[in-house]
C-alpha cells in the first residue's frame, strides 16, 4: 500500500468482541482526526463483522481469533503454531501499511501484532479496560513500551511496566446523544415514561435476558431490551405481548438507546461500564459468571463501591428481585444520587489521551526496547 507520506500510521488490533472493537474504533477516530492513518485488525467472528459494518471508512484486515487453551492441553501446540503463523502475517501487514506504532486492545488477538511490532522495532502498546486485567494482556505487555489502563485498579497487575491511566476510549457517536424525544420515537416509546435499558454486552446474555423478561416490572416502566444477536425471538416469546416493551437483537445505534434510558440492567463488561459512567446512568450490574477470573465482578465492584451501581450475582436473582431493584433505581432521589456517582467515575477524552501518549513516545524516538 502507498504510504501517505507524513501521516503517522497506527495499527490497532481490536478483534474478538465489542469490548475490544469499540474502544479500538474510538482510538481510530481520534488518531485520524489528528491527521494519522489507521489499519484495524479484527477477527473473522460474526460479532466483529456486525459491529464494524457502520465504520467502513476505515481499512480492516482479519487475523485469526486465538483462544488460548489450558497450559497442558493437547491443543497448546496447534495454538502456538497459529500464534507463530499469525505473527508472520502481521509482520507482512505492518510492512505493507508502513506502520509507525501498534496498539492492542486486548485478548490473544493482540499478541501477534504486538510481537510483530517488536520484531520490526516499532513502538507497541496495549490497552486494558478492566479492573482485573486479562491474562492475554499481562503476557502481551512484556513486548510493549507502555500499558494504557481503563481503571487505576489494574495498575498493580503490570509490575515493572510504565502504566498510564487513560480511561477506556468511547466512540464519538456516544459523546453527544440525540434528543430523548427523537430517540423515544425511534424505538416507538413514550419519552415521558420511565425507561429501563437492558443490555447484555455485545454478544448478549441469555440468563440475564430471561431474568428481566420474567420480572414483574411496574406497569409505568417501559423497557428497551437489547437481547443480543440470536436471542431476540426467544426473549420475545418469554415477554409475550407487553405494552411499552421493545426487543432488539444487536443494537447498532447505542446513542439512541442510551438517550432514552433512565436506568440500566447490564453485564459489567468494561466498555459498557465506561459508557454508563460517561453518561451518568444508574445501573443494576449482573456480572457474566463465566468471565475469565470473574473479572466482571471486579469491574462491577468499582461501580458498587462508588455508589454508582447495584451489584448482584445472577444466581441470587429472580424476576421479583430484579423488579424491586429496578423500582429502587428509578426512584427519583436514588436515581439522581446514583447518576452523580456514575459520572464521578468518568474519564473523558480517553481516546485522545491514548493518541497523545502514543504520539509522545513516537516523538521521543520510537521504541525504547
Task: Find where cell 498493580 sits.
Answer: 156
Supply the angle between the helices 270-279 and 295-305 in degrees, to the nearest 10.
20
Look at the block and give the residue holding cell 489450558.
70
102/131 with CB nearer ligand UD1: 131
Residues 292-321, one symbol each (x = binds ligand UD1 by CB under 6 A, - = not), give ---xx-------------------------
Nearer to ligand UD1, 86 or 202 (CB): 202
Residue 361 touches ligand UD1, criterion: CB under 6 A? no
Question: How far apart, in whole angstroms, are the C-alpha atoms of residue 347 and residue 353?
Answer: 10
Shortest distance, position 348 Cβ to ligand UD1, whole Å: 16
* Contacting residue, 130, 140, 141, 209, with ligand UD1 by CB under 6 A: 130
- State how far the Cα of 327 lies from the Cα of 210, in Å rounded to an integer: 18
- Is 130 annotated in a binding site? The answer is yes
DSSP one-letter code for 273:
H
105 close to 12: Cβ distance less than 8 angstroms: yes
What distance in Å separates the CA atoms of residue 275 and residue 272, rounded to the nearest whole number?
5
Give 9 or 282: the residue with its C-beta nearer to ligand UD1. 282
> Shortest distance, CB of residue 95 to ligand UD1, whole angstroms?
29
User: Could you tell me the sign of the dihedral formed by the alpha carbons of 159, 128, 293, 142, in that order?
Assistant: negative
Say if residue 202 carries a ligand binding annotation.
Answer: yes
In angstroms, the CA 228 to CA 231 distance is 6
Q: 55 vs 79, which CB is nearer to ligand UD1?
A: 55
Q: ∠ CA 89-91-92 to the nearest 5 degrees?
A: 65
DSSP-derived secondary structure letter, 250: S
Is position 323 an interface residue for ligand UD1 (rule: CB under 6 A)?
A: no
Please choose, out of 56-64, 157-165, 181-189, 263-271, the segment that lies near ligand UD1 by the rule CB under 6 A. Answer: 263-271
Q: Is 271 in the site for ligand UD1 (CB under 6 A)?
A: yes
Q: Considering only residues 124, 226, 276, 355, which one is a binding residue for ligand UD1 as defined by CB under 6 A?
A: 226
Judged by beta carbon, residue 20 or residue 37, the one nearer ligand UD1 is 20
* 250 lies in the binding site for ligand UD1 (CB under 6 A): yes
Q: Binding of ligand UD1 at residue 272 (CB under 6 A)?
A: yes
230 labelled ligand-binding: no
Q: Which grid cell is 147?
A: 500499558
Confirm or deny that 92 is annotated as ligand binding.
Answer: no
- Closest to 17 in 3D by CA, of 292, 257, 297, 348: 292
Residue 251 found at the interface with ligand UD1 (CB under 6 A): yes
Long-range contacts of 134-141 (CB under 8 A, 24+ apart): 134/106, 134/107, 134/292, 134/293, 134/295, 135/68, 135/292, 135/293, 136/68, 136/106, 136/107, 136/108, 136/110, 136/111, 137/104, 137/106, 137/107, 137/110, 139/111, 140/104, 140/110, 140/111, 140/114
Binding of ligand UD1 by 201 (CB under 6 A): yes
Q: Is 203 annotated as a binding residue?
A: no
Does 282 engage in binding with ligand UD1 (CB under 6 A)?
no
**Residue 138 annotated in ligand binding:** no
Q: Does the annotation list 82 as a binding residue? A: no
Q: Using the rule CB under 6 A, which residue among 8, 14, 22, 52 binds ligand UD1?
A: 22
Residue ranges for the binding site? 17-19, 130, 171, 202, 296
Residue ranges for the binding site for UDP-N-acetyl-alpha-D-glucosamine? 17-19, 130, 171, 202, 296
Interface residue list for ligand UD1 (CB under 6 A): 17-20, 22, 106, 129-130, 199, 201-203, 226, 250-251, 254, 269-272, 275, 288, 291, 295-296
Amino acid at each position: 500500500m502507498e504510504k501517505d507520506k507524513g501521516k503517522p500510521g497506527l495499527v490497532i488490533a481490536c478483534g474478538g468482541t465489542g469490548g475490544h472493537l469499540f474502544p479500538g474504533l474510538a482510538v481510530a477516530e481520534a488518531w485520524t482526526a489528528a491527521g494519522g492513518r489507521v489499519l484495524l485488525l479484527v477477527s473473522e467472528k460474526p460479532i466483529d463483522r456486525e459491529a464494524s459494518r457502520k465504520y467502513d471508512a476505515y481499512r480492516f484486515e482479519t487475523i485469526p481469533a486465538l483462544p488460548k487453551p489450558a497450559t497442558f492441553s493437547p491443543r497448546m501446540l496447534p495454538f502456538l503454531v497459529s500464534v507463530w503463523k499469525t505473527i508472520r502475517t502481521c509482520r507482512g501487514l505492518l510492512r505493507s501499511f508502513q506502520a509507525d506504532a501498534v496498539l492492542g486492545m486486548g485478548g490473544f488477538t493482540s499478541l501477534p501484532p504486538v510481537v510483530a511490532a517488536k520484531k520490526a522495532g516499532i513502538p507497541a502498546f496495549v490497552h486494558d479496560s478492566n479492573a482485573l486485567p486479562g491474562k492475554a494482556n499481562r503476557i502481551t505487555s512484556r513486548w510493549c513500551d507502555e500499558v494504557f489502563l481503563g481503571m487505576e485498579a489494574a495498575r498493580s497487575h503490570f509490575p515493572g511496566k510504565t502504566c498510564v491511566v487513560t480511561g477506556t476510549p468511547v466512540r464519538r457517536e456516544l459523546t453527544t446523544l440525540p434528543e430523548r424525544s427523537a430517540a423515544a420515537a425511534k424505538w416507538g416509546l413514550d419519552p415521558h415514561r420511565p425507561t429501563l435499558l437492558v443490555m447484555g454486552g455485545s454478544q448478549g446474555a441469555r440468563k440475564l435476558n430471561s431474568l428481566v423478561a420474567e420480572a414483574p416490572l411496574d406497569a409505568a416502566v417501559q423497557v428497551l431490551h437489547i437481547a443480543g444477536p440470536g436471542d431476540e425471538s426467544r426473549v420475545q416469546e418469554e415477554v409475550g405481548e407487553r405494552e411499552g416493551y421493545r426487543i432488539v437483537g444487536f443494537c447498532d445505534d447505542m446513542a439512541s438507546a442510551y438517550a432514552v434510558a433512565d436506568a440500566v440492567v447490564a453485564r459489567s463488561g468494561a466498555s459498557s461500564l465506561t459508557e454508563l459512567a460517561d453518561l451518568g446512568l444508574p445501573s443494576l450490574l449482573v456480572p457474566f459468571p463465566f468471565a475469565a477470573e470473574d473479572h466482571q465482578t471486579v469491574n462491577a465492584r468499582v461501580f458498587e463501591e462508588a455508589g454508582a451501581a447495584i451489584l448482584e450475582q445472577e444466581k441470587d436473582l429472580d424476576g421479583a428481585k430484579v423488579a424491586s431493584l429496578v423500582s429502587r433505581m428509578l426512584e427519583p432521589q436514588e436515581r439522581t444520587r446514583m447518576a452523580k456517582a456514575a459520572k464521578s467515575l468518568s474519564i473523558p477524552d480517553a481516546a485522545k489521551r491514548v493518541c497523545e501518549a502514543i504520539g509522545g513516545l513516537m516523538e521521543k524516538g520510537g521504541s525504547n526496547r
